[in-house]
Amino acid sequence: MRIALNARILQAPRTGIGQYLVELVGALGDDPRLELELFHGWGWNRQLPPAALPGYRNWSALAKQVPGAYRIRRLLEQQRFDRGLERNPVDLYHEPSLWPLEFAGPMAMTLHDLTHLHYPETQPRDRLAEIERRVGPAVERARLILTDSQFVADEISRCYGVSSERLVVAPLGYAPRFHPRLPEELAPLLRAFDLQPGQYLICVGTLEPRKNLSLALRAYGRLPVPVRERFPLLIVGMAGWRREAFAAELQNALADGHVRLLGYQSDDTLAGLLAGARMLLFPSLYEGFGLPVLEAMASGVPVLLSPRAALPEVAGVAGIYLDPDDEQGWSEAIVRLIEDQREWQVYRTLGLRQAGHFSWQRCANITADAYRRVLGH
């Protein structure tokens, strides 16, 4: 089977969907029955690039200045996509993001979440208009729709009227770099950040309103000063859309000196920072999966999270669930997990066990089976 995969998302720094694509392609590569052709927006390749491709920052600036920039780029990409397929036809096209390119043959797509419906204010206006124009027809056209969780599958069925026969749940996995580490393994990395193993808290994710970073900042701000001095809070992630909604809170927290904004970090650095944290704070209001939760558990790090959307599917009994509006409850839970080593160890063990239920190979196997279903193999 020759499969075309749209890999244009790799032009941007690799957040959730980019990591999904990288790990999925790597795991699918173990299947000798599959031949993958990757479309990068301007051409085709059979190999993934080693890092985010150039052009993202330039494109972001251009999109703000040029009316209809999303449609112009779409037209150019469609032309390159078509020319490549004329030279090298494929059996099936898989779109791993929101709106597929036009394709005359069978198509499968992955819908990771429905953020565009629940939080449209977090999207640039032109991009949202393009999503609204294209997602509905794409969902109708897709032979099968892959999702990361049963929660999202149920949402797609409810919001778009898709039958369960056209929905396939393929839970995500975690990369081998996410694993428990000894303090001496972490020391060189953490020394560069002036940190000690197990002596800091961490939030991971793109800075945007649905991640509910404001709650984490307020809960952390309630901690006694000696606790904050001993356990700084790291915020790791690239700036997202509409982050100005909590900019003042973030600036105040940074001025206090105990909150550190590290921005986007490389894959290996993020894995090390996660493994060295006392706990992950993840108060997100909406997630189609919640990859940092799984990665933290695989690293032996307990997770405080909200019981919203797909997060309970990922964390299971290993999650410490808290109301995403209850800053006092979050603050008390943080203190408890700092002071009670026995409870911390219980959730560490539960998290490692829960993470064992997920793997990228399992995700790839389900995806390959979906390809075969579409093609009648």
Cβ pair 206, 236 in contact under 8 A: no
* Kind of pairing between the strands at 35-39 and 44-45: antiparallel
Query: Does residue 220 sit in the same domain as residue 314?
Result: yes
241-255 confidence digits (pLDDT tens): 555 556 777 888 888
Percent of the chain's residues with pLDDT above 90: 73
In which domain, by residue range, is 306 found? Answer: 183-355
Please enumerate in sequence order all residues whose Cβ is within 8 A of that of 41, keeping only pairs 6 or more positions apart, or say none: 7, 8, 11, 77, 80
Task: Provide mean pLDDT across the span 213-226.
Answer: 95
The reported pLDDT for the residue numbered 70 is 72
Total domains present in the chain: 2
Q: Kindly tell me if the per-residue pLDDT of 100 is higher than 80.
A: yes
Query: Does residue 208 sit in the same domain as residue 277?
Result: yes
Query: Does residue 92 sit in the same domain as residue 210?
Result: no
Query: Does residue 194 sit in the same domain as residue 229?
Result: yes
Query: Does residue 335 sit in the same domain as residue 368?
Result: no
178 occurs within a structural domain: no
The reported pLDDT for the residue numbered 312 is 98
Q: List Cα–Cα distances, 266 to 51, 172, 238, 293, 367, in angstroms.
A: 9, 20, 11, 18, 27
366: closest CA among 82, 173, 208, 116?
Answer: 173
Average pLDDT, the chain: 91
Q: Kindly tell me if the per-residue pLDDT of 295 is higher than 80.
A: yes
Query: Does residue 331 sit in the same domain as residue 299?
Result: yes
- Of residues 63 and 161, the one with the higher pLDDT is 161
154-212 confidence digits (pLDDT tens): 999 999 999 999 999 999 999 999 999 999 999 999 999 999 999 999 999 888 888 99
Name the pTM for this structure: 0.92
Asked which of 124-128, 212-216, 263-267, 336-340 is least confident by mean pLDDT, the reply is: 124-128
Query: Does residue 195 sit in the same domain as residue 85?
Result: no
